[in-house]
Amino acid sequence: MSNIKPSGYIQPDYKPGKNDVVCDFYIEPNHGLNVEKAAEHVAAESSIGTWTAVSTMKPQIQKMGAKVFEIKGNNVKIAYPEELFEKGNVPQIMSSVGGNIFGMKHVKNIRLNDIHFTKDIVKSFRGPQVGVKGIRTLLKTHERPLLGTIVKPKIGLDEKEHAKVAYDAWRGGLDIVKDDENLSSMRFNKFEKRIKETLKLRDRAENETGEKKVYMPNITAETEEMKKRAEFVMSNGGEYIMVDIVTLGWSGLQTIRECNMDWKMVMHAHRAGHAAFDRNPKHGISMLVISRISRMIGMDQLHIGTASVGKMVQEDPAIILQNALNDEWHGLKRTFSVASGGLEPGMLPELVNKMGKDIIAQFGGGCHGHPGGTVKGAMAIRQAAEAVMQGIDLKNYAKDNNELAQALRKWS
């Protein structure tokens, strides 16, 4: 425990100001402690305190201590002076409020549910470079959800097979095709050849359909290698890059975003690994925190789940995440919400009803698992979108659209 008395950290009358960063925690104290005492230790450890009194603690430093100003059951709000954080440095911020506290013996469980950043901290980051409006302008599609797929199987295809799957999806009517999270540069599918083959067929699909098509290649790797891969994509006419933001790490993500000031490509964020620390509702870091930081750093698109539609467990309702990516936030551009995980065409009406049209709906198995194959699967998805935007029931629309009818018979 630090040499600051409990009243130095527990301040129920404190009113956070514009220069305070406020963190919302769920705290379960360990045996022998109450929530107040556990919260005090959390506030100390995440700001200026240590386990014992120290002679180096000066009065001016004491003023920088965190302040526990609200405790409701196990829900605790702690305010931190802005000066405790280095602007533009996510690793330092998270090392403070999302670091040692998870290993403290004073807590049985602790979860960082939300962070409310100050204007100056938010403005110290780039934010999305392209954002929702820019992506819609690029794709020339403004009045419906954007439609995409992930090449399946997620790993195992060679470069030409991969490109052919993407081409079939574009030809069937989808806007976007992306790599999956664990495809990078394998013995059987080299990154450079995959990019050339897939972008070549993207161009063919655009010429044949008269529509804009995009490919999201996964560049995730060691940071210098990622930079080389992004530049390779750009030099071959690509307009998108995809990164696995959790396994990549915040510092690597910030580096790539900084480099993108020159590249000016759309950055797609895959959240593989997030459930390792956000699935437990009592411990870890919420997807809401990840979403806020991703937007602040500058992700143009982010996976957020499917609002209870599909296969993925979503501890934070996708609508909350979508709002965090789209609300007014000190002038930052909006991040496109990506709904993905076990979707098939019959789910699109419910998805749009819950999340609106400003989403990117991605169908993996729900495209390639169609009885007629990838082209027919893409057609079924596009037909479902047409029905939804016209307010027509899918079963009625399927009477004149066999691809949709086949999809509904298989999955719905």
Residue with structure tokens 């450079």? Answer: 192
Write the CB contacts of 7 (distance below 8 Å, at least 6 apart in sequence): none
Q: How far apart are CA 256 and CA 246, in angstroms?
A: 14
58 is catalytic: no
Instruction: Determine which helix (DSSP H) or strand (DSSP E) holds 71, and give its type and residue range.
Output: strand 67-72
Q: How far apart are CA 285 and CA 343, in angstroms?
A: 26
Question: Cα separations (Å) of 84 from 1, 21, 277, 284, 333?
Answer: 19, 9, 24, 22, 27
Catalytic residue among 41, 77, 106, 152: 152
133 is catalytic: no
The token pair at 354 is 């819950």
**DSSP string for residues in 28-63:** EEPTT--HHHHHHHHHHHTTT--SS--TT--HHHHT
The SS3 assignment for 196 reads helix
Q: How far apart are CA 8 and CA 3, in angstroms?
A: 10
Which ranges of 127-211 does DSSP label H, i.e. alpha helix?
Answer: 131-139, 159-172, 191-209
**DSSP string for residues in 73-86:** TTEEEEEEEGGGS-
**DSSP bridge partners of 334:** none
Catalytic residue among 67, 270, 333, 376: 270
* Strand order, beta sheet including 75-81: 67-72, 75-81, 20-29, 107-116, 284-285
Residues assigned a catalytic role: 152, 270
